[in-house]
Amino acid sequence: MKNLLVAFLVILFTLSCNPTTTQEDMTATAPTVRPDYVLVIHGGAGAMSRDKMSAEDEKAYRAGLQQALDAGKAILANGGTSMDAIEATIHILEDSPLFNAGRGSVLTNAGTIEMDASFMDGATLNAGAVAGIKTIRHPVSAARLVMTESPHVMLSGQGAEDYAVANGLEVKDTSYFHTDRRLRQLNRAKSKEETASLDWEESKYGTVGAVALDKHGNLAAATSTGGMTNKRYGRVGDVPIIGAGTYANNATCAVSCTGHGEYFIRNVVAHSISALMEYKGLSLAEAGDEIVMKKLVAQEGSGGLIAVDHQGNIAMPFNSAGMFRGFVKSDGETGVAIYRD
């Protein structure tokens, strides 16, 4: 009994000399270091494959994605906000005729252009969106304007146009947005050719988007699109619907989607990623796979998404043949990709 008492006193003395030692310390792993910034972008998903895309086209798309990444990185590397970074990034993509947003937008069945965009701030959960606009050079800026300057979340049609113009956003004549390539795509779509006979561009769901984490720990997401080739005029897809095509929450992640919008609306895809993380404890990668690779596949919904979580982890799942995508992190890790491999 005396020996047991001595042993007990020795243990107490040892613990008193190390008052910060706890059971948690014995089992804890080294904390993950959050990068100063992360930027992830996409330029649409679809039937892109090496045997269908020319070397010239591939080079042009890779260069366009890299230019967009560089624009956002420059802001984040200088301590700028995630919102400023993704807006600048998407401006590059909206100005390029290669991507289905802004100047490169596809045509409706009526031969017109109707653009949608959305923006969300993960720090405040404030969001803004525009739908069916026709003359604003940068729809993503119109979406941000609705978020920051109006009491609303979404404006559409002429009301959205008027609000953007009244607040000084740049306007272009409708001819600026029209390209011969998009007209050819519309004519082919109207001819009711089988999907198998369409080229990779005509089988692509074009949308551009960006998500970012800045040095302040704030997340943001934005998406911009011209919609679907040969869509009925007045059709609105997932992009301007907060929670369907775009979502950001500092507690979980920032998400931007691309694909067959009707499926993304029905499954509230962007918010579902966040909800699986918040309520079920899934990682970003697990949540992305659950929605994109299982739920959407089961419904034959094609597309993908990009996402970054509050710790700087990224995910870029897609169930189509390819997805234009790229990322950059503050540690120098970066990449641009098109195909699955």
pLDDT digits 0-9 by tens, 270-285: 999 999 999 999 999 9
**Sorting pLDDT into bands at 50, 70 and 90, what band is 186?**
confident
What per-residue confidence (pLDDT) applies to 80?
98
What per-residue confidence (pLDDT) applies to 205?
60
Task: Inform me whether the pLDDT recorded for 20 exceeds 80.
Answer: no
Quick check: 273 and 320 in contact, CB under 8 A? no
How far is Cα 257 from Cα 269, in angstroms, rounded to an integer? 8
Tell me the residue length of the chain.
Answer: 341
What per-residue confidence (pLDDT) applies to 135?
97
Residues with catalytic annotation? 207
Tokens, residue 338: 């098109």
How far is Cα 252 from Cα 107, in angstroms, rounded to an integer? 36
Task: Inform me whether the pLDDT recorded for 181 exceeds 60.
Answer: yes
**Sorting pLDDT into bands at 50, 70 and 90, what band is 231?**
confident
Claim: this prediction has a pTM higher than 0.85: yes
How far is Cα 87 from Cα 140, in angstroms, rounded to an integer? 7
Quick check: 134 and 160 in contact, CB under 8 A? no
DSSP characters over 144-197 = HHHHHHSS-SEEEHHHHHHHHHHTT--B--HHHH--HHHHHHHHHHHTT--GGG
pLDDT digits (tens, 9 = 90+) for 29-83: 334 689 999 999 999 998 787 888 889 999 999 999 999 999 999 999 999 999 9
CB atoms within 10 A of CB 4: 8
Domains in the chain, CATH or no CATH each: 38-339 (3.60.20.30)
Tokens, residue 65: 């994605």
